[in-house]
């Protein structure tokens, strides 16, 4: 329970979303100065650099840096030194979560603005004031809470639509947890992730609810649109839900059982080939079982997951569903589930995972 009676809400300075919005990047960087340092995902580097070379009439004012693959202290320091040498006025991060987190960290170190440009709608991290730090070998080591959220989040849905569809679906899995985790945090009166932690605003809770409603109503249509390379309004709405609504939702209301069970799943090497949101989706079902939610609600969530291709069983993530394996997940989940409004034990988490997996098997068999 939070000891703070004040309410807090955090968000990026601006959120802009639309087809070919990256072509307008210069308009936004010009707000902060002429010297721009851009960190770009390695596999996108040549294409993005060529595009930006056409956008900026004089790209001698643009410093292009290829991301190494890990948001590590060494990579942050490398980019920080390059940006200082270039006398950068603004940092731009273009790519996936680790690239964007590195850009946020450098911006924080140098106290200059940052523009975040995600190239997939696979997580809700772009809007947040958080950076997750890894070792050079890719092992999670720490996280940073920045003084502010990104100045601008720029989402080019033409680029998002060309990304693998599985990334969009994974983003739906991450966003699926937002409302249920918000409700758990509200019930337990746990502080959110804004600054040093505040109580939730009404707006934060309404955003989390709208996120869930958008997924249920439009998620399948968005997936089909993406499979056919179409930026429909349903696709645009789900991209907004994955990035903006879920991002504002989790930061302003908090995480709970779904992300805790995700952490437990990461202890299994066989789960490493599955995306964050895919594991969170299964964790959401486990949380609903843990909280004794209605069969109708669990059925709705499972129906959504199976319709878009999110896992509802351990087997669908390549994990053996024996008791020893489930016990490992439960043991490493329980210490992360701090925001539920009742006492959590390893046994209760074990039972929720095993039951959710059993329900998922029945649902999968029924659907096939």
Residue numbers in the known binding site for NAD(+) are 41, 97-101, 119-122, 128, 130, 134
CB 67, CB 41: distance < 8 Å:
yes
146 belongs to the catalytic site: no
Whose CA is closest to 257, among 321, 173, 193, 182? 182
Distance from C-alpha of 117 to C-alpha of 60, rounded to nearest angstrom: 21
Catalytic residue among 259, 299, 321, 324: 259
Is 323 marked active-site?
no
What residues are designated binding site?
A: 41, 97-101, 119-122, 124, 128, 130, 134, 174, 259, 276
Cβ neighbours of residue 153 under 8 Å, at least 6 residues apart? 12, 14, 15, 16, 115, 116, 117, 118, 126, 127, 243, 244
| Given 156, 174, 237, 332, the catalytic residue | 174
CB 310, CB 166: distance < 8 Å: no
Strand order in the sheet with 62-66: 14-18, 152-156, 114-118, 90-95, 36-40, 62-66
The one catalytic residue in 262, 321, 332, 368 is 262
SS3 category, 38: strand
- Phi, psi (deg, nearest 5) at residue 241: -65, -45
Binding-site annotation, residues for glycerol: 124, 174, 259, 276
| Active-site residue, 259 included | yes
CA distances from residue 320 to 147, 279, 327, 351 in whole angstroms, order as listed? 42, 15, 12, 16
SS3 for 205? Answer: helix
The catalytic position among 151, 156, 237, 276 is 276
The residues facing 115 across adjacent strands are: 92, 152
Extract the tokens encoding 186.
């509200």
Helices then strands (H, E): number in the chain?
14, 8
User: What sign has the CA pseudo-torsion 67, 105, 119, 61?
Assistant: negative
In sequence order, the β-bridge partners of residue 130 are: 145
The residues assigned a catalytic role are 174, 259, 262, 276
């Amino acid at each position: 329970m939070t000891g703070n009676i004040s309410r807090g809400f955090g968000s990026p300075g601006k959120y802009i979303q639309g087809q070919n919005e990256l072509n307008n990047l210069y308009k936004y960087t010009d707000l902060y100065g002429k010297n721009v340092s851009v960190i770009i995902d390695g596999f996108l580097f040549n294409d993005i650099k060529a595009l930006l070379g056409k956008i900026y009439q004089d790209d001698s004012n643009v410093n292009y840096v290829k991301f190494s693959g890990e948001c590590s202290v060494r990579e942050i320091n490398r980019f920080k030194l390059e940006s200082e040498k270039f006398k950068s006025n603004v940092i731009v991060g273009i790519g996936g979560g680790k690239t964007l987190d590195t850009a946020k960290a450098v911006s924080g170190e140098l106290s200059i603005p940052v523009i975040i440009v995600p190239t997939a709608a696979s997580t809700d991290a772009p809007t947040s004031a958080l950076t997750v730090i890894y070792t050079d070998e890719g092992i999670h080591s720490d996280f940073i809470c920045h003084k502010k959220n990104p100045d601008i989040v720029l989402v080019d849905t033409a680029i998002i639509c060309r990304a693998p569809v599985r990334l969009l679906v994974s983003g739906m899995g991450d966003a699926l947890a937002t409302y249920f985790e918000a409700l758990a945090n509200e019930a337990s009166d746990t502080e959110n992730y804004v600054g040093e932690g505040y109580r939730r605003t009404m707006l934060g809770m309404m955003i989390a609810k709208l996120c869930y409603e958008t997924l249920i109503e439009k998620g399948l249509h968005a997936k089909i649109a993406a499979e056919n390379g179409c930026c429909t309004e349903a696709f645009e709405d789900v991209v907004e839900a994955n990035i903006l609504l879920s991002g504002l939702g989790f930061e302003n209301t908090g995480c709970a059982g779904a992300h805790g069970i995700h952490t437990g799943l990461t202890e299994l090497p066989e789960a490493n080939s599955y995306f964050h949101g895919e594991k969170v989706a299964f964790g959401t079902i486990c949380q609903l079982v843990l909280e004794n939610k209605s069969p109708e609600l669990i059925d709705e969530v499972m129906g959504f997951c199976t319709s878009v291709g999110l896992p509802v069983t351990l087997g669908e993530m390549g994990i053996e569903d024996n008791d020893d394996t489930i016990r490992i997940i439960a043991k490493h989940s329980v210490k992360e589930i701090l925001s539920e409004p009742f006492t959590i034990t390893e046994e209760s988490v074990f039972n929720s995972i095993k039951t959710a997996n059993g329900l998922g098997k029945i649902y999968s068999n029924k659907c096939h």
